[in-house]
Amino acid sequence: MKKAVRYIGYTFQDCYRAFPRFFVLTYLLDGTGTACEVFVPLLLARILELAGEGQGGKELAAVIGLYGLALACGPVLEVFFRASSKRARVLGKKYFGSRLAVFSAKIRLEALEDPDTLDKFHRAEGGENSQFIFFEQVNLALRKLATCGGMMMVVGRYSPVLVVTGLLALLPALSTKIYFEKKITSFRRGQSPVLRRCQYLRGLFANRETVKEMRVMGFEGHVTQRWEEANRARLKEFQETELDVRRKQVWGIIVMSVCYVVNIGVAFFLMAGGRISVGAFAACLAAFSAYDASIQMLIAMVFNAVHTYRMVEDYYDYFTIPTEVEGDLEYRPFEEKIAVQDVHFRYSGAAGEALDGLTCEIKKGEHVVVVGENGSGKTTFSKLLTGAYLPSRGSISYDGQRTEDLRRGSLYEHISVVPQDFVRYRFTLGENVGISSLKRMGDTKAMEELLAQVAGEGFLEKVGGLDVQLGREFGGQELSGGEWQKVAIARGLWKRSSIVVLDEPTSALDPLVEYEILSRFVEMIQDRTSVIISHRVEICRSADKIIVMKDGRMVECGKHQELLAREGEYARIWREQAKWYV
Ligand code: ADP
């Protein structure tokens, strides 16, 4: 409840920020519209009274004029309102969409490993601009509530009994609708993981790589079947709940109609008993009609607003995802060493620790290779080393500057990373490389030289130059897996950073080509500190230091010959892989 009050507060505050003029206009128009609605039955009664007393003349004409004006007022204001509402909707979309984007850029990278984050994002996207709809629904509900109140005041002038019977019409229908709306919303929300699974499965058919693999490997039909099953289950559950809810709603409508008839009946008996005049009876008829229509709208709006509130909640819940914990220390390039001390790290939801007390150090200018079998924690180490993730225990410090104390952006300026799951940007070749250091994007000569070094002399000519669009999606040229990897490495080197981290971006290549590329890479970064993560050991021969990892810890550290002589984990891996290189 407290949360709902807070979120509704945010909604109104944000709506005011997004469209201040429409915000104020809404209340002005709503106030005027409600006053006109309440005057209609009162003016009608007056007309009948004047006509009944046989008084025509100026007063009657004036009252009829006012009556017409009050009747026309509603539709005219409505037109006004609709026109400005369209613009406000666009402003809201812009405001709420950009807040989401700005926040997404600040989310802690570790949080992205958590499937719950993806769920929240999916839901928040659905809730984007629901604030605008919620604002409109709440205001319409308030307006209808004010109309209902006004109508009760009108009938209350003639008899308090009518107020009591009138109010009775409101309560049962309202409570049933709120109850069922809650039920259907919680059902919809409960489905989110199913929905995400359906979208994931369908997404496999929109991705060229997966379609290719599914078709060639012959499991396309199996995936289609899984998607169909998931979708069928989703639809079936939805239809059953929807049907159940609609059936129960019919009862609410029946109760309301009965109440309406009872109200008119009571007014009629009061008139027949001589307790109210014919004019008052007419005013009651008009008031009950308006009241009935307003109740319907009020309930519909409360019903819709409760539903929309869930989306509002999804939107604001997204902002509870942890953001990057930024230190305020500006990074000062390290001169001596990076010290990794007793570092522990566990992924959210994982049973064990991915890093379990890792301790090592990297000196300035050293070329370090981190080796170990799959799952030993190499990639996790690279993520912590670059400050993308923070240790849950222990520390990583650059000449004493701990990653958690640093303003991460200032550290990133000095680090270049080529990750395992590098991105194939559907941009031109030049952009694909130059994007890591936009300032030097125009230096085409340097870029061509770099590409020749990383990818070989003939590469640029083969692709057709730096301006060639890459990727078939936009009619560009497609590269092979290995060529994309070379482009990613060139991108990593284009950024003139003092530290370079290479996380197995060559793993899809055959061992000899991989060795050739990595050797060239090492030659090109002689003047920088580098960390190469690899599960292949051939590259270790030329390394200044080899860190051997196992079960999230460093088990050995040294140079190639030293480690071979030690006959431990490194020697074992080396012997296993030696057959590839002979
Ligand atoms: P390596 O790079 O040596 O193959 P990783 O650093 O990728 O090893 O993984 C180390 C351990 O952490 C493994 O047990 C792996 O299953 C686990 N792990 C990696 N990524 C995640 C994740 N996103 N969520 C949970 N566990 C993970």
- Closest atom of ligand 1 to 382 CA is 6
What is the distance in A from the centroid of ligand 1 to the CA of 390? 15
Segment 472-481 mean pLDDT: 84
What is the distance in A from the centroid of ligand 1 to the CA of 208? 27
For residue 210, is pLDDT > 90?
A: no
Backbone angles phi, psi at 157, to 5 degrees: -60, -30
**563 with 546: CB under 8 angstroms?**
yes
For residue 529, is pLDDT > 80?
A: yes
| Residue 106 or 331, more confident | 331
Residue 38: closest CA among 163, 154, 160, 164: 154
Report helix, strand or coil for 328. coil
- Closest atom of ligand 1 to 350 CA is 25
Report helix, strand or coil for 416. strand
What sign does the dihedral 48-50-55-59 (CA atoms) show?
negative
Pocket flag, ligand 1, residue 347 (CB < 6 Å): yes
**26 with 18: CB under 8 angstroms?**
no
% of the chain with per-residue pLDDT over 90: 43
Pocket flag, ligand 1, residue 350 (CB < 6 Å): yes
Query: From CA 431, how far away is CA 312, in angstroms rounded?
Result: 39
Pocket flag, ligand 1, residue 346 (CB < 6 Å): no
For residue 64, is pLDDT > 70?
A: yes
Give me the long-range contacts of 187-194 (CB less than 8 A, separation at least 24): 187/237, 187/238, 187/241, 188/238, 188/310, 189/123, 189/310, 189/314, 191/234, 191/237, 191/238, 192/119, 192/122, 192/123, 193/119, 194/230, 194/233, 194/234
Segment 23-39 mean pLDDT: 91
What is the distance in A from the centroid of ligand 1 to the CA of 355? 9
Query: From CA 370, how far away is CA 362, in angstroms rounded?
Result: 11
Residue 509's pLDDT band (cuts 50, 70, 90): low
pTM for the model stands at 0.67
For residue 96, is pLDDT > 70?
A: yes
What is the distance in A from the centroid of ligand 1 to the CA of 490? 26
What is the distance in A from the centroid of ligand 1 to the CA of 112? 14
Residue 138's pLDDT band (cuts 50, 70, 90): very high
Query: From CA 167, how far away is CA 148, in angstroms rounded?
Result: 9
Supply the pLDDT for residue 508: 61
For residue 241, is pLDDT > 80?
A: no
Pocket flag, ligand 1, residue 117 (CB < 6 Å): no
What is the distance in A from the centroid of ligand 1 to the CA of 380? 6
| Residue 490 or 508, more confident | 490
Supply the pLDDT for residue 23: 94
Pocket flag, ligand 1, residue 558 (CB < 6 Å): no
Query: From CA 280, how far away is CA 81, in angstroms rounded?
Result: 33
Query: From CA 46, how far away is CA 556, in angstroms rounded?
Result: 98
Supply the pLDDT for residue 24: 94
Listed in sequence order, the residues at least 6 apart from 503 whose beta carbon sits closer than 8 Å to its beta carbon are 378, 379, 382, 417, 418, 419, 420, 533
Supply the pLDDT for residue 58: 85
For residue 184, is pLDDT > 80?
A: no
**Distances in whole angstroms, Cα of residue 8 to Cα of each of 92, 101, 183, 248:** 16, 21, 21, 29
Residue 507's pLDDT band (cuts 50, 70, 90): low
- Closest atom of ligand 1 to 381 CA is 6
What is the distance in A from the centroid of ligand 1 to the CA of 375? 5
pLDDT in tens, 402-414: 999 999 889 999 9
Supply the pLDDT for residue 582: 55
- Closest atom of ligand 1 to 372 CA is 3
Pocket flag, ligand 1, residue 374 (CB < 6 Å): yes
Among 114, 117, 374, 380, say which to mutate for ligand 1: greatest number of ligand atoms within 8 Å of CB: 380
Which residue has the CA at smallest separation from atom 21 of ligand 1?
Answer: 347
Supply the pLDDT for residue 346: 93
Q: Of all helices (H) and strands (E), which one includes residue 499?
A: strand 499-503
For residue 11, is pLDDT > 90?
A: yes
Supply the pLDDT for residue 444: 92
Supply the pLDDT for residue 192: 66
Supply the pLDDT for residue 581: 58
Q: Of all helices (H) and strands (E), which one includes residue 193?
A: helix 192-203
Backbone angles phi, psi at 14, to 5 degrees: -65, -35
Supply the pLDDT for residue 17: 95
- Least confident range from 132-141, 269-278, 321-330, 507-516: namely 507-516
Most confidently modeled of 52-56, 98-102, 156-160, 218-222? 98-102
- Least confident range from 92-101, 170-179, 306-315: namely 170-179
Which residue has the CA at smallest separation from atom 18 of ligand 1?
Answer: 354
For residue 245, is pLDDT > 80?
A: no
Rounded-to-10 torsion of CA 199, 205, 206, 211: 140
Query: From CA 117, how far away is CA 300, in angstroms rounded?
Result: 33
Supply the pLDDT for residue 415: 93
Supply the pLDDT for residue 326: 81
Q: Which residues of 282-316 are buried (b: 16+ CB within 10 A; e: fewer)?
A: bbbbbbbebbbebbebbbebbbbbbbbbbbbbbbb
For residue 277, is pLDDT > 80?
A: yes
Supply the pLDDT for residue 542: 82
Supply the pLDDT for residue 562: 93
- Closest atom of ligand 1 to 349 CA is 25
For residue 337, is pLDDT > 90?
A: yes
Half-sphere exposure at residue 3, Cβ-oriented, CA atoms within 13 angstroms: 9
Among 356, 379, 537, say which to mutate for ligand 1: greatest number of ligand atoms within 8 Å of CB: 379
Segment 371-391 mean pLDDT: 92
Query: From CA 557, how far away is CA 579, in angstroms rounded?
Result: 23
What is the distance in A from the centroid of ligand 1 to the CA of 309? 38
Most confidently modeled of 117-126, 151-160, 364-373, 569-578? 364-373
Half-sphere exposure at residue 11, Cβ-oriented, CA atoms within 13 angstroms: 30
- Least confident range from 132-136, 166-170, 261-265, 313-317: namely 166-170
What is the distance in A from the centroid of ligand 1 to the CA of 222? 28
Pocket flag, ligand 1, residue 114 (CB < 6 Å): no
Pocket flag, ligand 1, residue 383 (CB < 6 Å): no
The whole-chain average pLDDT of the chain stands at 87
Which residue has the CA at smallest separation from atom 17 of ligand 1?
Answer: 354
What is the distance in A from the centroid of ligand 1 to the CA of 73? 66
Which residue has the CA at smallest separation from atom 6 of ligand 1?
Answer: 377
- Least confident range from 227-236, 252-261, 373-382, 444-453: namely 252-261
**Distances in whole angstroms, Cα of residue 474 to Cα of each of 477, 478, 542:** 9, 10, 41
For residue 196, is pLDDT > 80?
A: no
pLDDT in tens, 530-563: 999 987 788 888 889 999 999 999 999 999 999 9
Supply the pLDDT for residue 131: 93
Which residue has the CA at smallest separation from atom 10 of ligand 1?
Answer: 377
pLDDT in tens, 427-448: 999 999 999 988 888 899 999 9
Which residue has the CA at smallest separation from atom 23 of ligand 1?
Answer: 113
